Structure 1
């Protein structure tokens, strides 16, 4: 591959969860559709730590995701395990893009923080942040770290963030103007994802995509499915097996580790979605599915609130069972949602086009 028009994307290690892999796929495809020669940097930073706590999960899912990545995402040849490895590719691309996902959340980048602010990149390459996420609305960094990040961001030609709160953090602490853009998954039309699906057969079920189980989430799923006469189909992405709320009397149809194709197919097939996942909300919007989003503090409520606010869907977010039970669940008007999506997509694509020219 010639260096001309080469773009390298730095995101968190992919293949560990469906949302992370699909956002990498979407940004990779978007840039290729724009005419660039794109590689996602083969980032294995912190993979040993992640692997230790997710060994069982990876045993079942990494194979599925690896096959998807091999087919749809172009990875760089250099495997990155240390900061020294990054230096080997510092001049390898015309432009480096960091994003999306929580690349600027301190807890996700411990030990390699400044690499995610492109410290290693040479002076002749453009530095761009696309839909970078701090994950939460609070500032996590020390004053020493803030000063270093301030210096690094000063060399970026364009900065965009995924949450509205990120715009405020960049302005207040880093004196950097950041543009609020869409998660990369939202840059691609639904047809792209439908083409990735297995054969679709419409069924009468509620799709429960829950990352972190608790009793309130169990009660919400049970209540909605009973009231509306829906079976429950559930996927999980957790290491420990915890009965998935048990839900014994709800005709639970399935309980397994999903492939990406199977995961997407369930969104297409479902009558209704209940999720505590950021990307669960994203794909409910993409596929125009009626849904309830359950706040997930451990993974960052800010991400969910910002996404829903963009589409005027904040009334779909609940924080507990009592919050859910006190609501009247009207149907989402996706005509309005799709208009917003189209406008935001154009704005986000314009940001990328302008930054890379």
Structure 2
């Protein structure tokens, strides 16, 4: 949702009106709000817990409200509706996130490659991602066929540039995730004004249940002497923490990051918002999809933020443990400007 919001705000800054194609299937809605259940014990218990827990119901309400802040087309309930009656715009843009993830092959039909458009329709990508360092060569021919229709291609990872070059012999540009097209002040204005946690705290945001994550939570609390607050996309959290915030919608999520004393995350956007709000942080390497984290960490000279051993943080000096953003402010601003300029120039070349 933040990627979508950041993209639309960037387009507004550049003077363009935009709408999101509002594809939201019944199945996705049920999944997002835990409205589906099976006659098996675990799914049934999750369903009952989500339906009866007022904090989770508040969370779903908050997401719906934030969704309403964006300009959307009418709601489409399946991809076939879009193919049968394609929306008509001067330019179509796809991105960000893993819209080109080919782990399970090509989606049929290839919606996220804008396959519903006519041959002469103008299209570009902004910060699209394959979610991996490489793809199976058997996809090369089809990928080239689909991407050759694009007037300009930008991707989120350095590896994506290489994939497109090797698989398609096409040029692509690496740009920042669209959340970087907004600054900390802009994101902070969206956050709830009242702090969710009154005292200082360490924030953990992630989706894994690794032993490394568990040990990091323990050692961060020991090192900093602060309570640990967790926020997650799920209805439960696998580790012992001082607070697990179940009711956070997008605005509350921003508030938790804005007011944290330190952040630990296994999520790319956890990393991104730690940087947006200039917080000291540690990241946990994803076992398969780590390319996007590595691109940002390398670009901003923050690769030492990726933890391999949880005990290291107990012996690091303060200089090693905390991030000195004064050393990298110029790099962050340079990359933000470069990414926004790519978007501005490629849109202007096509519709002005």
Q: TM-score range by the shorter chain?
A: 0.7 to 0.9
What is aligned with 1:48?
A: 27
Partner of residue 276 from structure 1, selected from 266, 284, 287: 266
What is aligned with 1:336?
A: 327
After superposition, the Cα gap between the structure-2 partners of 1:107 and 1:147, relative to the gap in structure 1 and judged at 3 Å, is same
Contact residue 109 and residue 115 of structure 2 kept, 8 A: no
SS at match of 1:245: coil
Question: 2:218 aligned with 1:222, yes or no?
Answer: yes
What is aligned with 1:74?
A: 71
Q: CA deviation at 1:295?
A: 1.3
| Aligned counterparts of 1:226 and 1:212: Cα–Cα separation in 2 | 21
Gaps of 5+ in 2: 35-45
Matches within 5 A, 1:227-266: 227-239=223-235, 241-242=236-237, 244-247=238-241, 252-266=242-256
**Which has a greater percent of strand?**
1
What is aligned with 1:287?
A: 277
Q: CA deviation at 1:254?
A: 3.9
Gaps of 5+ in 1: 1-20
| Aligned counterparts of 1:148 and 1:254: Cα–Cα separation in 2 | 45
SS at match of 1:265: helix
Partner of residue 29 from structure 1, selected from 5, 9, 24: 9
Contact residue 273 and residue 292 of structure 1 kept, 8 A: yes
Query: Alignment length, in residue pairs?
Result: 325
Q: CA deviation at 1:109?
A: 8.0
Matches within 5 A, 1:1-357: 21-44=1-24, 48=27, 51-52=30-31, 55=34, 60=56, 61-70=59-68, 72-90=69-87, 92-107=88-103, 111-112=107-108, 114-140=110-136, 143=138, 145-201=139-195, 203-239=199-235, 241-242=236-237, 244-247=238-241, 252-297=242-287, 300-321=289-310, 329-357=320-348
* RMSD between superposed Cα atoms in Å: 2.4
Contact residue 23 and residue 79 of structure 2 kept, 8 A: no
